[in-house]
Chains A and B, each alone.
Chain A
Amino acid sequence: MTTRTAASTSPNDTPIVSMDMITKTFPGVKALDQVKLDLYPGQVTALVGENGAGKSTTVKILTGIYVPDGGTIRINGDAIAFASPNEAAAAGITAIHQETVLFDELSVAENIYIGHAPRTRFGLIDKAAMHRAATKLLDDIGAPFSAHTPLRDLGIANKHLVAIARALSVDARVVIMDEPTAALSHKEIEELYALVETLKSQGKAILFISHKFDEIFRIADRYTVFRDGAFVGDGKIADISEGDLVKMMVGRSVDQIFPTRSHDVGEEVLKIVGYDHPTEFADINFTLNRGEILGFYGLVGAGRSEFMQALFGITKPAKGVCRINGDIKVIRSPADAVGNGIVYVPEDRGKQGAIIGLPIFQNITLPSLGKTSRNGFLKLAEEFKLAREYSQRLDLRAASLDQDVGNLSGGNQQKVVIAKWLATLPQVIILDEPTKGIDIGSKAAVHEFMAELAAQGLSVIMVSSEIPEVIGMSDRVIVMRDGRIAAELAGDDLTPETLVRHAAGISTPTKGAAA
């Protein structure tokens, strides 16, 4: 690994921003312990670390939301302390968040210039100047919409463009991108990469946070690794292998190895015939067998989640037949679905999250209250018994089941949520993007767990956009495109190329032409 020499005179070797010995303590917890992070002009630095490594805290310190307890931040060599987000913005540091923080009811131009709009002589907002400047910014980044468009009419990818335009409008020198591709489709990600190149050529320093290694190795020039709130190492991407970076990140060697599963797929459990929805999906037919993991792959917006919600009774399909164990079942509500042994763990973490304010055991028994009550009254003893059984099965770490679920760590909260579903003794479990946004170590645990569930005779539907996961975990894969089933793949047909081809609607195998 090459080391930088402090005496180097090349402009690209002198960081714009240099964080050193930064420490941040929350009551009882050290979130960051003497970490360092350097950002160089015209280069992309990837900040790598598992969930909880302290990446978000670092971003919040850089953008002035948190004040560090110790350490120094230097900008072009001058020590600086941000007392507020405004000061960080004034220093040219801007962040584009995972969920863009913009205003739906304002126009694109207003969003770009909110807080620093050009003024007329009388102190009023100079709308004409603002629209002119916004139009120029949008042209520079190749945005396919006008400055007058109301923000609510734009998709997530285009909202990102607005956020980037906003970053450019304040003449940012440092752009922080926190998992910018998490919600984007393949084509949109390519456009984002192109934009990152543009920003680099303009000499901006970019801090790029991502869990996706292909992304990091594709666009980053440098890396910095944090683990458990501490600095592990940094250097140039060209000097490190993917495997070594993973090792630094987790402190142990983790291969993307999926659990081996003895194939004991049983009889048909679920049969869907002719599910149609007026606007979201059409002509969905498939079967699911006992102990099978059925993958649903597709680009974002292919209608996978929309179909799953209809299957679960949240939205109603216009027509279609659902057979469970051969019998026709009408599912009009989530309660019907749960009653028929179908449970759904949705994609959105906030939505699938535990119910804060209820203690652990009440969270676990919530969908099973029928089982734990007699004559309409809940039996606490029965509730504790059920909760204890499933929390032990999932190795839930908590002082007491009576404890408020809000006091648990994120990982343990997730266990509570899964325990809740298993306690209903489901036949079919739908997991929507089960490993989205979680670190590699936790991913392996989730995969292990899915394999275990299938081995116990549970049928799993896994909606996933990650190709290795889809291929590694599924017995069969259904590829959706534009609300329809584009292909059903298994065995030798199940390759990254065939998945991408069917999902993108390319008839001949052309590698990397998904756009």
Chain B
Amino acid sequence: MTRFIPLREAILAGAIFALLMMIATRFAGFVAPSNLANVFNDTAPLIILALGQMVVILTRCIDLSVAANLALTGMAVAMINVAMPGLPIPVILAIAITLGAIMGAINGILVWKLAIPPIVVTLGTMTIFRGIIFLISDGKWVNAHEMSPAFTGFARTVLLGLPVLSWIAILTVVIFGIMMARTPFGRSIFAVGGNPHAAVYTGINVGKTQFWAFVVSGALAGLTGYLWVARYAVAYVDIAGGFELEVVAACVIGGISIAGGIGSVGGAVLGALFLGVVKNALPVVNISPFWQLAISGSAILIAVAFNARSGRTKGRIILKSAETAQ
């Protein structure tokens, strides 16, 4: 984590670069700066969610409810916007983050206090959140013409050449970089995932740390919920359906160990970018979108196999001379 360019991240960055070069040979326009900016903007929600998921996975948990959380928050803020078109955007943002955090806290409480396995908890809440969207919306869509221009315009406003959506993703990356490296919370996230038993004796409350990880993940899902609905200018029950798997995939490709304790902000971001490039490039180079699934799947397997190899223990050092020599 403290190395300047960890090997795993460097290899992944190299893979993305190679991928871009290959695409460029068939369609040079793809690597034009303006198009790359579009790809980044398109990948921004995935990056934000992957960072939240990374925190959860590092603590040996998983959050399958992020996409449902995103959809529910998106629907809620869209309906609030319809009811109160004059509500300023910062208030909308605050509501979205709070709603998302509350849903994350529900996951966290169930994991912490009732000790239910996270995969079960979030599978349950995922379904519940989707159900609630149907209940509050009656299954109806909230369409672009019902939303206020300020509401839909915010995410697309261009600042210094990039849309706000991209800037929010960049800001999130910076905040998480600092949080993971330079705060006691970030450190305890790694400790809890690395060796929960030792963490307990160190005075770290493992359950509480996992709870806050879910709150963080939920808050980011809520934030993304608003951005998503604003960007696509539509809210309905099924938005971002199945997106949670893409988020987990980004983390796994980025080298976040599903067993917890190992991973980095850079890895999560690169994992998301890799998927983003694949997704955007395939239609351009005339490969059927169906291949996208196969390529994402292969990338996951290759990444996991690669990480398992690099993580393999090197054998115990037994000879005294070898120990002093190292």
Q: Report A's interface with B, CB cutoff 8 A.
A: 26-31, 33, 52-54, 57, 228-229, 312, 314, 333-335, 337-339, 344-346, 348, 350-359, 362, 366-367, 369-370, 373, 376-378, 380, 397, 399, 402, 407, 409-410, 417, 420
**Residues A355 and B198 in contact in the complex (CB < 8 Å), given A27-B315, A31-B318, A377-B183:** yes
Complex interface residues of chain B between 276 and 326 (CB less than 8 A to chain A): 314-324, 326
Complex interface residues of chain B between 146 and 175 (CB less than 8 A to chain A): none
In this assembly, does B190 line the interface, its C-beta being within 8 Å of a C-beta of chain A? yes
In this assembly, does B195 line the interface, its C-beta being within 8 Å of a C-beta of chain A? yes
**Residues A228 and B197 in contact in the complex (CB < 8 Å), given A362-B187, A369-B184:** no
Q: Are A348 and B2 in contact (CB under 8 A)?
A: no
Q: Are B201 and A351 in contact (CB under 8 A)?
A: yes
Q: Are A228 and B202 in contact (CB under 8 A)?
A: no
Q: Are A356 and B261 in contact (CB under 8 A)?
A: yes
**Residues A26 and B184 in contact in the complex (CB < 8 Å), given A335-B203, A354-B195:** no
Instruction: Give the docked Cα–Cα distance between A344 and B197 (Å).
Output: 12
In this assembly, does B194 line the interface, its C-beta being within 8 Å of a C-beta of chain A? yes
Q: Are B191 and A366 in contact (CB under 8 A)?
A: yes
Q: Mark B1-31, 1 if CB is under 8 A from A, else 0.
A: 1110000000000000000000000000000
Instruction: Give the docked Cα–Cα distance between A384 and B260 (Å).
Output: 25
Find the B residue at minimum CB distance from A380.
B182
Q: Are A26 and B316 in contact (CB under 8 A)?
A: yes
27 pairs, A vs B, C-beta closer than 8 Å: A26-B315, A27-B314, A29-B315, A29-B317, A29-B318, A30-B322, A31-B318, A52-B318, A333-B203, A334-B201, A334-B202, A344-B201, A348-B197, A353-B195, A354-B195, A355-B190, A355-B199, A358-B194, A359-B2, A362-B187, A366-B191, A366-B204, A373-B183, A376-B184, A378-B182, A399-B326, A407-B314
In this assembly, does B98 line the interface, its C-beta being within 8 Å of a C-beta of chain A? no
What number of A-B contacts does a CB cutoff of 8 Å give? 124
Partner of A28, one of B1, B3, B193, B322: B322
Contacts of B195 in A (CB 8 A): 351, 353-356
Closest CB in chain B relative to A365 CB, distance in Å: 8
Closest CB in chain A relative to B48 CB, distance in Å: 23
Contacts of A337 in B (CB 8 A): 203
Contacts of B321 in A (CB 8 A): 228
Instruction: Give the docked Cα–Cα distance between A338 and B182 (Å).
Output: 22
Q: Are B184 and A378 in contact (CB under 8 A)?
A: yes
Contacts of B178 in A (CB 8 A): 377
Q: Are A351 and B317 in contact (CB under 8 A)?
A: no
Q: Mark B200-216, 1 if CB is under 8 A from A, else 0.
A: 11111100000000000
Q: Are A352 and B2 in contact (CB under 8 A)?
A: no
Q: Are A369 and B320 in contact (CB under 8 A)?
A: no
Q: Are A335 and B204 in contact (CB under 8 A)?
A: yes
**Residues A355 and B194 in contact in the complex (CB < 8 Å), given A31-B315, A362-B187:** yes
Q: Are B322 and A29 in contact (CB under 8 A)?
A: yes
Find the B residue at minimum CB distance from A376.
B183
Partner of B200, one of A26, A334, A350, A399: A334
Q: Are A334 and B323 in contact (CB under 8 A)?
A: no
Most buried by A among B199, B201, B319: B201
**Residues A352 and B318 in contact in the complex (CB < 8 Å), given A358-B191, A378-B184:** no
Q: Are B183 and A357 in contact (CB under 8 A)?
A: no
Size category, B interface = 35 or more
Find the A residue at minimum CB distance from B3.
A402
In this assembly, does B262 line the interface, its C-beta being within 8 Å of a C-beta of chain A? yes
Q: Are A378 and B204 in contact (CB under 8 A)?
A: no
Q: Are B194 and A229 in contact (CB under 8 A)?
A: no
Closest CB in chain B relative to A213 CB, distance in Å: 22
When A and B form their complex, which 3 residue pairs have the shortest distance between CB atoms, in order from nearest?
A26-B315, A351-B197, A335-B203
Find the A residue at minimum CB distance from B178.
A377
Instruction: Give the docked Cα–Cα distance between A45 and B205 (Å).
Output: 47
**Residues A333 and B187 in contact in the complex (CB < 8 Å), given A355-B195, A356-B195:** no
Find the B residue at minimum CB distance from A398.
B326
Instruction: Give the docked Cα–Cα distance between A205 and B203 (Å).
Output: 48
Contacts of A351 in B (CB 8 A): 195, 197-198, 201
Find the A residue at minimum CB distance from B321.
A228
Q: Are B323 and A409 in contact (CB under 8 A)?
A: yes
Q: Are B203 and A402 in contact (CB under 8 A)?
A: no
Find the B residue at minimum CB distance from A28.
B322
Contacts of A53 in B (CB 8 A): 318
Most buried by A among B1, B187, B195, B198: B198
Q: Mark B223-267, 1 if CB is under 8 A from A, else 0.
A: 000000000000000000000000000000000000001100000
Q: Are B261 and A367 in contact (CB under 8 A)?
A: no
Q: Are A28 and B318 in contact (CB under 8 A)?
A: no
Contacts of B183 in A (CB 8 A): 373, 376-378
Q: Are A352 and B187 in contact (CB under 8 A)?
A: no
Closest CB in chain B relative to A302 CB, distance in Å: 22
Partner of A366, one of B187, B261, B317: B187
**Residues A57 and B318 in contact in the complex (CB < 8 Å), given A356-B261, A373-B184:** yes
Instruction: Give the docked Cα–Cα distance between A28 and B322 (Å).
Output: 8
Partner of B198, one of A352, A373, A399, A409: A352
Contacts of A54 in B (CB 8 A): 318
Instruction: Give the docked Cα–Cα distance between A378 and B191 (Å).
Output: 15
Q: Are A420 and B194 in contact (CB under 8 A)?
A: no
Taking A28-B315, A29-B319, A402-B3 as given, write out 16 further A-B residue pairs in contact, using a Cβ cutoff of 8 Å, ordered by the A residue number. A27-B315, A30-B318, A31-B316, A31-B319, A228-B318, A333-B205, A334-B200, A335-B204, A335-B205, A355-B190, A355-B199, A356-B195, A366-B187, A376-B183, A377-B183, A410-B316
Closest CB in chain A relative to B156 CB, distance in Å: 34
Contacts of B197 in A (CB 8 A): 346, 348, 350-351
Closest CB in chain A relative to B264 CB, distance in Å: 11
Q: Are A355 and B191 in contact (CB under 8 A)?
A: yes
Contacts of A376 in B (CB 8 A): 183-184
Find the A residue at minimum CB distance from B193.
A357
Contacts of A339 in B (CB 8 A): 203
Contacts of B261 in A (CB 8 A): 355-357
Instruction: Give the docked Cα–Cα distance between A350 and B193 (Å).
Output: 14
Instruction: Give the docked Cα–Cα distance between A417 and B2 (Å).
Output: 20
Closest CB in chain A relative to B121 CB, distance in Å: 23
Closest CB in chain A relative to B206 CB, distance in Å: 10
Instruction: Give the docked Cα–Cα distance between A350 and B198 (Å).
Output: 8
